[in-house]
Structure 1
């Protein structure tokens, strides 16, 4: 008789949902099971990594290798220099990438993967500290290791108990726990994280300054207080910002006139041609310094429901202007 399961019984919506929920239960139990097994060896591993002058070299085969790549990336992005080295490639020359100042984090559920165990003696002879993350604390990998992190699980989520599922989830969670513990121990903050992710949303918010995105020089719409209303509108149209700064003889911004101000003036029915910039400007405009974060400019605009803000130096002299469109183009918002 065939040992293959009947696919028709597992193809119903009910069976699919049931299998998904069972998977979640098994993998959740695998992760929660780690809580009772982290102890002195975990603390020792964190301290050992903190002492490393080189990099954490993560190694693993198959699914453990995929997990290892992610762990190496997480470590590197949270303040711990790390890289992934494939064990099979290591025995063909890539071992030269591992230096005596490094530390090896080897990942294997069985702890008996040949491509990994064959290079362990070489790693040990170099004097490189070895941390093992394995589901078998009595394995060859564990015996060679200086520190053993137990990532064992009772069973896989795979109904055949063959495909690495719960075991790789446990490895991933244990790797994240290491990275986060190291992050805390290093005092790694949001600005440090942003420097590791300059192309991400957080990096843009924490690393982009007003000076990086503001308009300056001739691109800044400005008029003197006695400018006619016609000249004011001509300057606004020429610079295409929807606003213009009113600047005194000393270069300081004393007011601003926006499209919104124009609508309000029109509603009054006043003869606008007879007015000057001083007559129609909004006194006390919102200003920022060039060294402020662009994200701060976004907050000011949102808080005061404005679409542009003037940029001044320490003396209040106008040096630039920033609009909400500039922030959008820079992907700060």
Structure 2
């Protein structure tokens, strides 16, 4: 496969997942700001922008509407939903000879349908629309694409981005411990609440909810599941031939973070959740850069502001 095509498919997967993850995080936190009058709105907005890797503009106080504009509809902001959807569409155009007509039409229609602004009474409706459109794009790939290198690069990008986004969502739990999102809210934002109830059969506790989103091997949005899937994609793209060790730097980085997640006690992770989630983000970013250097080195990585180097 041409490195140009591989890069486009990798970033289509990442941008689609980034749009979905950003919509989920914003839906939870903007609703929380609306419902809880005791939250310091300026502090909460700045903290949320920081978690999403975006800098707060100017010295004036920030409101819910500012975060919505910056992270949802600002076409010049690399962390925004509209930027990600437009970038996914542009990468699909570059790989048009590989991308199916269905996926191209889906991404093209989604990008064209992005609003310039979102009114305050239609915020949840907008985020639901974004989740529906990204789910449609992923469904097209999952149901109609051959499990060849094209699908592997697409899934590799999605898996790395999903691990990063789940880590960001868990990091928001510690923004304001007293008034931050509850574990039930976080589980719902990941689409994990019902799956959690079927697994633990009880009201979410900090230990169980964090364990489910970090360590569960069967839930597709858990960090461990995403990292393991990314590792499998790398092995399928280029099977190992060496007899000793692992020569692929991306596989080593992902293997290290997987081992840390698997063998570190959940109580220890909860004691310093932001630090551990920052380590996950560092690992996924470093793995992404290692993949770029190995498979499409001529392409400059289209890093968003929140991507770590």
Q: TM-score range by the shorter chain?
A: under 0.3
Higher share in strand = 1
Greater relative CO (CA pairs within 8 A, separation 6+):
2
TM-score, L = length of structure 2: 0.27
Higher share in helix = 2
Larger Rg: 1
